[in-house]
């Protein structure tokens, strides 16, 4: 089974369409989404519709919950808050009820999903250190735990034979029966690791491989939508920088 895992799409339909095409060509038959479908970008309803058409199983991120007022946006920066307020005005009842239906965590096969972390998903704290990653590896049960939120991809590997978890340097890893992983899937719609290409995660259960995939998309068109919507220009300017 080939599973495509997407995170932090952030209303960027141009990036999402490119990723969906690429993953279909790869042979993806299952679609998982680790939250933040909306926010920042200018096509929230289009992204929700495409995920529905793919039959994706999604969880909620802080921006999704911010839009439906299930979490506070007081700590959001100016541009993020403006985008949440704008998104509230755009969504119809069915898109809104889709966001309301999203759970905070889900399990599919041997994969667990949480947007920010597994220890306290509704607190939205980031996982940036190996110490935090080690705590997270004890907080989910499946072989692979996938998060998003920081928009920076990483893979941390733990072994049942003991020892401290290690960060994998490289874009792919193959598992054996002793290994478990915490993976940040990166961001489809607003990467922040210096690479502006859309990022998603491929999990291939037959070859036991976990791999990041980067996809070029029409950044200029995504920027045009943001400026036409009247959203803060910083949200468009950061896209070609991958920051």
Q: Which residues form the interface with Fe ion (CB under 5 A)?
A: 8, 36
Handedness of CA 30, 35, 40, 43 (dihedral sign): positive
- CB nearer to Fe ion: pick between 175 and 212: 212
What's the min distance (Å) between Cβ of 151 and Fe ion? 6
- CB nearer to Fe ion: pick between 8 and 112: 8
Of 29, 10, 9, nearest to 19 (Cα)? Answer: 9
What's the min distance (Å) between Cβ of 213 and Fe ion? 19
- CB nearer to Fe ion: pick between 36 and 136: 36
What's the min distance (Å) between Cβ of 36 and Fe ion? 4
- CB nearer to Fe ion: pick between 36 and 46: 36
What's the min distance (Å) between Cβ of 160 and Fe ion? 32
User: Could you tell me whether strands 154-159 and 166-167 are parallel, antiparallel, or unpaired per DSSP bridges?
Assistant: antiparallel
Residue nearest to Fe ion (CB): 36
């Amino acid at each position: 089974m080939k599973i495509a895992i997407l995170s932090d799409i952030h209303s960027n339909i141009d990036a999402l369409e490119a990723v969906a095409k690429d993953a279909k060509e790869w042979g993806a038959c299952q679609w998982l989404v680790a939250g933040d479908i909306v926010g920042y970008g200018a096509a929230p309803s289009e992204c929700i519709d495409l995920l529905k058409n793919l039959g994706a199983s999604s969880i909620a991120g802080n921006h999704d919950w911010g839009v439906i007022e299930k979490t506070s946006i007081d700590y959001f920066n100016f541009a993020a808050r403006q985008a949440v307020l704008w998104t509230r005005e755009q969504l119809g009842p069915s898109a809104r009820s889709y966001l309301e239906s999203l759970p905070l965590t889900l399990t599919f096969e041997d994969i667990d999903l949480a947007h920010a972390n597994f220890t306290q998903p509704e607190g939205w704290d980031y996982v940036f250190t190996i110490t935090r990653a080690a705590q997270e590896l004890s907080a989910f049960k499946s072989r692979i735990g996938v998060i998003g939120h920081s928009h920076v991809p990483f893979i941390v590997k733990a072994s049942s034979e003991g020892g401290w978890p290690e960060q994998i340097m490289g874009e792919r890893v193959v598992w054996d029966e002793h290994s478990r992983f915490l993976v940040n899937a990166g961001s489809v719609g607003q990467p922040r690791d210096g690479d502006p290409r859309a990022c998603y995660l491929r999990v291939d259960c037959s070859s036991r491989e976990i791999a990041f995939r980067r996809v070029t998309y029409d950044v200029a068109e995504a920027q045009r939508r943001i400026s036409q919507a009247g959203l803060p220009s910083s949200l468009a300017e950061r896209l070609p920088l991958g920051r």
